[in-house]
Amino acid sequence: MAHPRVTNSLSSTTTISLFCNHHNPNNQKKPFVLLPIRACPCRPRPSQSLILHKATPSSYFFSNCKPLLRFTRRTGASPPPRVIGQAQPEHLPQSNAEGEDVLLKPQVSQLRNRIVFGLAIGITVGGVVLAGGWVFAVAMAAAVFTGAREYFELVRSHGITEGMTPPPRYVSRVCSVACALLPLYIMYRGHIDVSVTSAAFVLAMALLLQRGSPRFAQLSSAIFGLFYCGYLPCFWVKLRCGLAAPALNTRIGATWPVLLGGQAHWTVGLVATLISISSIIAADTFAFLGGKVFGRTPLTNISPKKTWEGTIIGFCGCIVTSVVLSKIFSWPMSLSSSIALGVLNFFGSVFGDLTESMIKRDAGVKDSGSLIPGHGGVLDRVDSYVFTGALAYSFVKTFLPLYGV
**What is the per-residue burial (b if ≥16 Cβ within 10 Å, else e) of 331-349?**
bbeeeebbbbbbbbbbbbb
The dihedral built from the CA positions of residue 182, 183, 184 and 185, taken in this order, carries a sign that is positive
Partners of 83 in the β-ladder: 69
How does pLDDT run across 210-249, given as a tens digit for each residue?
887 888 989 999 999 999 999 999 999 999 999 988 887 8
Max intra-chain CA distance, the chain: 114
286 contacts 340 by C-beta, under 8 angstroms: no
User: Crossing angle of helices 216-226/133-155, nearest 10°?
Assistant: 150
- Residue 392 is classified by DSSP as H
169 contacts 149 by C-beta, under 8 angstroms: no
340 contacts 275 by C-beta, under 8 angstroms: no
359 contacts: CB under 8 Å, gap ≥ 6 = 151, 154, 368
How does pLDDT run across 91-125, given as a tens digit for each residue?
445 555 555 555 556 667 777 877 888 888 899 99
How does pLDDT run across 176-200, given as a tens digit for each residue?
999 999 999 998 887 788 888 899 9
Q: Which of 115, 91, 51, 105 is nearest to 285 (CA)?
A: 115
